[in-house]
Amino acid sequence: MADIIKLLPDHVANQIAAGEVVQRPASVVKELLENALDAGATQIKLIIKDGGKALIQVVDNGIGMSATDARLSFERHATSKIQKAEDLFNLSTKGFRGEALASIAAIAHVEMQTKPEADEVGTHLKIEGSEVVYQEVAVTPKGTSIAVKNLFFNIPARRNFLKSNQVELRHITDEFHRVALAHPSVAFHFYNNGSELFNLPADNYRKRIVHVFGSRTNEKLVPVEEETPIVKIKGFITKPEFAKKSRGEQFFFVNDRFIKSPYLHHAVVAAFEGLIKPDAFPGYFLYLQVDPGSIDINIHPTKTEVKFDDEHTLYAILRSTIKHSLGQFNVAPALDFDHDPNLQTPYEFKNKSAVQPHITVDAGFNPFQESQNTRQQSAPMPKKQPSKSWEGLYIGMESKMGNSDPTNSISFESETITGSIFDGENEVNEVSATTFQIRRKYIVTTIKSGMVIIDQSRAHQRILYEKFLKNSTVKEAVSQQLLFPLHLNFSRAEINTLREIEDILVSIGFIFEEIKDESITITGVPLLVAESEVSMILDQLISDYQQEVNGESFSQTDILSKTLAKTLAVKTGEVLDSKSQLALVNDLFACTDATVSPFNKPVYITITENDIDKKFI
């Protein structure tokens, strides 16, 4: 039998490795920024064009590389971070596997200029699809500049899976935030299509957070600090009143590396128990320093998931530390309320004992005995003869009223019957005027063949979704003017998102008077939106738009209509009167598709008479 196993060529192996390392332009940004930090840079510039599809460039003032190192850095598993396998358990750097540059060069056009401080000239290197096409001596400043152009140029299938430029830019911005927040001592500059998005000077942790998320963030932060033999914790949590309905500003950093840990997130949420609503999420920026030998950071290609040796102890320390900070800064409610001076005992009564009060009773007082003066002043009144019995009061009533039921004279206005809506054996044929609510969750109504059980929240979501979708398409939404303009504060990234969806929000019914870098002014809202809910709705809109509502939406209008419908719909647990129930049923079956909610979940079920009969067999 002939041999069938062969070694893959290097360029094929690099493309396969790129599938793990480079998922989208944000992955390239992460790797290049981490390499710049490992090079000891104090100033880093990030330049993006067309969401990273056309250009991703990182310029740093680090130690630079020699001509030999520049060429070797693009080889597979070439690294200066580790020498032996044991070094994997004592890491203090970001990238260490030596796959990043080789993978990036296999699927893009890469251009590098680098020079160590001691050398007079540097190196200029060009690579296209793992092939070196140009390498010469060049005059360049100290540090390294890497430009990645035409990402996935030789893998068109991967390029077609990329989202729009705005979506890819948001992912890049998220990676930029994670790196910038972890290293406040490094100055960062972020440019997109020629305009500056962020200019972050070197500063402390608090000011770096404020520079990234806006000046209003400063008043939300509560400092957290604790040092134990196991872990050193410092950072900030947001006050409970600023908790959001969506996951937003939540960052864990372990040894200056951003990580995702649902277990530690649960510890933070448990510390806020009783201070925020169950469906709200607190914000936090927590920096943990642990022994590098006690964690394993090489369990995932993106290195955002780590494994701790003693997670249970870390959980308990983190939870108690946050609880302590909430109480220390008077965020949590306390039992020593302010004393009212009017209720305090005067000093002269300090040593006096309690005295039993004296009660005097008039033993001869008779409340039924009229006084002599009253008898003299009152005119003589004829005395009524008491009835022999109480039954005598009702003698003759039956003859006057008759034997008829008094309720028979009451007439009711007949309800409008919607008539036949659907045709088919298992579909709704006729909606009756009789409805009732079960468990404050379901609405039951009868039909010709049996009955229909409707989920009230999903049904209302479908009604509102189609209404908002129609208003935004036809652009005939009606707004209600606010008596006083509403001023709301957002971060710069959130403001950029609002600018992207401003036209659709206006078509739905929002009226914006002004949109600044960190605040907006609203003078009108849609008819169905209460003024007190505007901030929560916009937060949810921004979050869902950034996350693309589970990736199933095809347009901005669809995303926003779904979010508004979900936010404003009747919730489970709300009591509906009979008129509201009937209106909900009629509006539901007037929809284009009444069977599923905007999120493809069933809205109602039908139970026929045959189904009921089978239960009694």
User: What sign does the dihedral 470-472-478-481 (CA atoms) show?
Assistant: positive
pLDDT of residue 53: 92
> Which of 111, 146, 152, 127 has the alpha carbon at shortest distance from 24?
152
Q: What is the pLDDT of residue 414?
A: 43
Please state the rounded mean pLDDT for residues 603-614. 89
* pLDDT above 70 for 301: no
Q: Lowest mean pLDDT: which of 40-54, 197-211, 381-395? A: 381-395
**pLDDT of 615 strictly over 70:** yes
- The CATH class for the domain spanning 417-617 reads alpha beta
Cα distances from 248 to residues 390, 490, 579, in angstroms, run: 74, 12, 39
CATH class of 10-200: alpha beta
Per-residue pLDDT, averaged over 277-286, amounts to 88
Q: How many CB atoms lie within 10 A of CB 190?
A: 21
Average pLDDT over residues 532-539: 83
Determine how many CB atoms are found less than 10 A away from the CB of residue 298. Answer: 14
Lowest-pLDDT choice from 214-218, 224-228, 253-257, 450-454: 214-218
> CA-CA distance, 23 to 33, in Å (whole number)?
16
In this structure, CATH architecture of domain 205-328: 2-Layer Sandwich (3.30)
User: Where are the domain boundaries for CATH 3.30.565.10 in the chain?
Assistant: 10-200
Percentages (nearest 5) of helix, strand, coil residues in the chain:
40, 20, 40
pLDDT band at 603 (very low <50, low <70, confident <90, very high): very high
Q: What is the pLDDT of residue 418?
A: 42
Residue with the larger pLDDT of the pair 80 and 347:
80
Query: 302-311, 389-398, 550-559 — which is least confidently predicted?
Result: 389-398
More confident residue, 100 or 148: 148
Residue of 271, 307, 602, 318 lying closest to 458 (CA atoms): 602
- The single-letter DSSP state of residue 374 is H
Q: How far apart are CA 567 and CA 530, in angstroms?
A: 11
Mean of the per-residue pLDDT values of the chain: 81
Would you say the C-alpha torsion 24, 159, 502, 515 has a positive or negative sign? positive
Overall average pLDDT of the 31-36 stretch:
92
Positions of CATH 3.30.1370.100 in the chain: 417-617
Residue 377: per-residue pLDDT: 52
Token pair for residue 533? 């809910």
**More confident of the two residues 268 and 297:** 268
Residue range(s) in the chain whose domain bears CATH number 3.30.230.10: 205-328
89/333: higher pLDDT: 89
Which pLDDT score, from 0 to 100, does residue 476 have?
A: 65
Q: What is the DSSP string of 282-314?
A: --EEEEEE--GGGEE--SSTTS---EES-HHHH
Q: How confident is the model at residue 289 (pLDDT cuts 50, 70, 90)?
A: very high
Pick from 545, 543, 552: which is nearest to 501 by CA?
545
39 or 9, greater pLDDT:
39
Model pLDDT, residue 398: 54
Q: Identify the pLDDT of residue 426.
A: 41
Q: What is the mean pLDDT of residues 415-429?
A: 42
Closest Cα partner for 261 from 201, 324, 314, 338? 314
3-state SS track over 41-55: CCEEEEEEEHHHCCE
Task: Grade residue 572 by pLDDT with cuts at 50, 70 and 90.
Answer: confident
Tokens of 496: 């950029």
pLDDT greater than 80 at residue 327: yes
Q: What pLDDT is attached to residue 529?
A: 81
Residues facing 447 on adjacent strands: 450
Give how far Cα 139 sits from Cα of 19, 125, 249, 421, Å.
35, 12, 42, 78
Tens digit of pLDDT for each residue in 443-466?
998 888 888 999 999 999 999 998
Which pLDDT score is estimated for 427? 44
Residue 379 reports pLDDT greater than 80: no
Selection from 233, 418, 449 nearest residue 322 by Cα: 233
| pLDDT: which is higher, 304 or 137 | 137
